[in-house]
Amino acid sequence: MTTAAPPPAITTARSATLRIGDLAARTGVSVDALRYYERRGLLRPTGRRVSGYREYPPEAAALVRFIKRAQALGFTLAEVEELVRLRADARRPAAALAARHVAAAKVRDIDDRVRQLLALRGALAGLVEACETTCGPDGPADDASCPIIGALDDGTCDDGTTRAQAAPGVGPHDRFDPTSTQGDLDDER
C-alpha cells in the first residue's frame, strides 16, 4: 500500500512577509533601528498583522543592507534618504548622475574632515611637545604650569604665553582652533 504524498505547502502573501524581528535577524540591525528607519521614511511596512506586528516585504532586507552599507561609507541618514530615493530610479541616467554627485560631495566632506583631523593632531602634538619642553620627564617645575592644561583651560599658560606661543597652530587666529565647535565630527549616523 502506497501512502499519498503530503499536499504541497501553500504560499500566501502573508507568509512571504517578514515581521520586524525577522527583518532584524536577517540584517543584523536592531528592532529599534528599524523602527527609527521607519519613522524617517526610509523603511515602510506593508501593513500590520492582527497581532499588531509590522509586516515587511522580503526585499526590505536588501534595502536595510543598502542603508547600512551607505552608513558604513560615512553617509549621514539625510544623505542615505536621498540615495534610497535614487535607488528606486537606479536605471535612469539622471538618478545615477545624482548618486554620483551625492558620493562626490561625501568625498569632499571626508577630505575636509581629514584636514581637520590632521590640524587637530598637529595642535595636540604641539601641546605635547610644549609640555615635554616645559615640564620635563618629571612634570612641571615649581614655577611652571602644564601648557596642555593652560591651553585647555583658557588658551594661555600661567607664565603668560599664549596658546599659539606654547603650541603653534593652536591659536585663535590659526587655521584650526580645537576649541571651536565649527566642523564638529559628530554627525547623525
pLDDT attached to residue 53:
85
The rounded distance, in Å, linking the Cα atoms of 26 and 104 is: 31
Q: In what side-by-side order are the strands of the sheet with 47-48?
A: 18-19, 54-56, 47-48
pLDDT attached to residue 95:
92
The rounded distance, in Å, linking the Cα atoms of 102 and 108 is: 10
How far, rounded to the nearest angstrom, does the alpha carbon of residue 87 sit from its chain's CA centroid?
20
How far, rounded to the nearest angstrom, does the alpha carbon of residue 58 sit from its chain's CA centroid?
26
Q: What is the pLDDT along the chain (189 residues), one digit of tens a residue?
A: 555 544 443 334 455 889 999 999 999 999 999 999 999 999 999 988 888 888 999 999 999 999 999 999 999 999 999 999 999 887 888 999 999 999 999 999 999 999 999 999 999 999 888 888 877 777 666 656 778 888 888 765 444 555 444 444 444 334 344 444 444 444 444
Fold of 13-73: Multidrug-efflux Transporter Regulator; Chain: A; Domain 2 (1.10.1660)
pLDDT attached to residue 143:
58
pLDDT attached to residue 15:
57
pLDDT attached to residue 177:
46
Domain ranges of the chain: 13-73, 98-166
Cα dihedral 50/52/53/57 (nearest 10): 60
